[in-house]
Chains A and B, each alone.
Chain A
Amino acid sequence: MSATFSIPDRSNIQGLILRGYTHPCSCHLLFTFTVATGTAATRSFFNDLYDKLQSAADWGANKPASMLNIGLTFNGIQQLNIIDPGDLANFPPSFKNGPWSAGSQASLADICHQPNSAEGIPSNWWNGNGDYVNENLHCVVHAYGLTSNDLDTLVDYITASAAKNGITEILPLAKTNESGRLYQVIVDKDPDKIHFGYTDGISEPGLKAPGTTGDPSPGDYNNFLIGYYNGSASQPGPFDTTSAGLFAKDGCYNAFRIIYQDVAAFNNFLKQQAAAWAEKLSFLKLTETELEEWFAAKLCGRWRNGSPLMLNPDKPGEHSHTSQTGEDFGYTELDSPSKVGSGAADVLSGLSCPFSAHTRVNNPRNQNLRVSESIDGPPRILRRGMPYGAELKSVADDGVDRGLIGMFLCGSLAGQFEKLYGWMNNNNFSDKHVFNVKHPPQDALLANRSVTIAPYKNNYSGVVTNFTIPIQGGDILQEDKIIIPATLPQFVITRGTAYCLLPSMESLAKIAGRGK
């Protein structure tokens, strides 16, 4: 198959891929197709859903009151019998084997060793039913509504169709969490906030269509959409003319991930650090509460209102993470010719944004990268996230399951999503000027702090779990100081992950019996 340079047709692409929805209400429903349901039943189910399916075509001035998108796991595609069996092997190994596989776990490293137990074990995912759900989860339906009534009506419609067609819903949360379903919640009356208090939700690399001018970059369409190879770094596949390649064209992979967030541990950590370092940081002239916010920003690389530390190093600014001005920055000291091409050119930026801050690790922008880590820049992902579980109202943990429903969209699950997770667990992607080679640190927010013990220790030699914040004292003649807080707590635990393909509208129409 030769390289394709055509412009993708937005009306054939699911809307979730090319636009970050801002509907404040959503629910993410998991289903399994039992053998007994057969093709006619699944066709009927998808035919019902197709009426509500949202493409990436412009919806004009009137945002749909409710809509849905659909992801299929590899086992789901296999179960639907929509691709020639011999062609199923053409899908990439990570998608076929699933996120619980040993190959994927080498990067994701989800098993967290706590003092008295281990958590995040794939066999315990999905409310303790990992062994069953990992193999039998076939379909995830992402439902959105402008109001809770709109969403409830849509969820009732979807679940009624599933029940009618003998398709079984999987409840991913404990029933103590209301319905057991993954409903989006509103935190602090702000639909853009997550439980850790950051304004977040959507990450949108500048997507340039293939065939347009300029060299391809990791942010281009062809790094996300299957079927537009065109020199992309991630080279989404299958890229061929088999039934697998044709089915997958105009689709995109989604690493659908449920991440528990220990909000009490996070809040307490900020308070402890603010108190512990108040004297040393007195030159900042911040109140204790403001100092907590300062630590929160240093951990993330952005203030909790979303403004980046590189543009607003001293206090929260007006730059939004979704605005163009909020994205217009890098980490390399471009005006220092003697340092260009070396990690030394990145050192100064550490005074504004620590090297291991979460957003910097996940998108180091123009920071110098080791040869093995970059083809033409850091891998990018499209990120859609929303909180689940009731907001924490107390200082101490209340036992409620809460966290993030994360959707990480990419053209290559291994080359984009898993590679970035490897970076989070082991900050070794830039040279010795940025990261200590013998004792590399970790992402300040999301890493697994226990990677240096079995079963992952072979991949994480020397990794340390502290966090370095370069600072410059109030007296400019003073040398730079380094703060290293004690071992970072385990802020997050994986509750479940599914690798899905978000197929094209045409492929879903075919499953629904509407296509050619």
Chain B
Amino acid sequence: MYVQINQDPESQTAAESAVQNFTQGVQAGLDASEIVHYATLALVPNPSVEPGVPVSGYLAILLMTDFDLAMDPYLAVFWNAAGGGIKIALQGIAKIAFNPVPAINTLTDFENFINSANLTPAPTSGVWTNFYQAYPQSVQQIIGG
């Protein structure tokens, strides 16, 4: 999921804070779901104007995750997850989005936000050409649940 963010100081600070607190905020909910292989939040640096000259600040926020099963039927698991950390994290990202995102108040809003920001939707052919995994098992199959 890729979301371009605002360049104002408050948004930039909020983005840094989101990354700093991400694991703590989502841990309980993702543990309980037993379907998420990993989730990581990263900040995409602003592009340099001149080669070799670094630029401060962040262009976007990037959430990379992989979970078992189809996406849309299971977004409710994250929306309703224990502790509310996942919901809060994504509502926070929506608030600093450069392209305005309608307020995320309902599961349908959440589904639409995730789908609109998803850079890797399921391929129309059904066959992934840009994804590798070393193992095909579900989380439950791996942990032996």
Contacts and interface: CB of A to CB of B under 8 A. Distances in A.
B128 A94 contact: no
Contacts, number: 118
B107 A237 contact: yes
A90 B112 contact: yes
A239 B145 CA distance: 37
Contacts of A93: 72, 111-112, 115
Interface stretch (A21-29, A51-59, A270-278, A451-459): A451-459
A229 B109 CA distance: 13
A371 interface: yes
B73 A415 contact: yes
B141 A461 contact: yes
A461 to B, nearest CB: 4
A372 B69 CA distance: 11
B144 A105 contact: no
Contacts of A8: none
Contacts of A101: 124
Contact of A103 (B109, B121, B136, B138): B121
Interface in B71-122: 71-77, 80, 102, 105-109, 111-112, 115, 121-122
Contacts of A104: 72
Interface string B57-79: 00000000000111111111100
B20 interface: no
- How many A residues touch the partner, as a band? 35 or more
A103 B72 contact: yes
B34 A459 contact: no
A458 B128 contact: yes
B21 interface: no
Nearest to B78: A372
A302 B127 CA distance: 37
A3 to B, nearest CB: 11
Contact of A102 (B34, B109, B121, B136): B121
Interface string A413-435: 01100110010001010011000
A415 B76 contact: yes
A438 interface: yes
Contacts of A107: 69-70, 72-73
B108 A90 contact: yes
A437 interface: yes
Given A90-B102, A105-B122, A372-B77, 16 more contacts: A102-B126, A106-B70, A106-B122, A107-B72, A237-B108, A240-B105, A419-B74, A422-B69, A422-B73, A431-B145, A437-B140, A438-B137, A455-B126, A461-B136, A461-B137, A462-B141
Which 10 A-B pairs rank lowest in CB-CB distance, beginning with the nearest? A455-B126, A237-B108, A106-B70, A414-B72, A102-B122, A419-B73, A235-B107, A107-B70, A93-B115, A461-B136
Interface of B: 32-35, 68-77, 80, 102, 105-109, 111-112, 115, 121-128, 133, 136-138, 140-141, 144-145
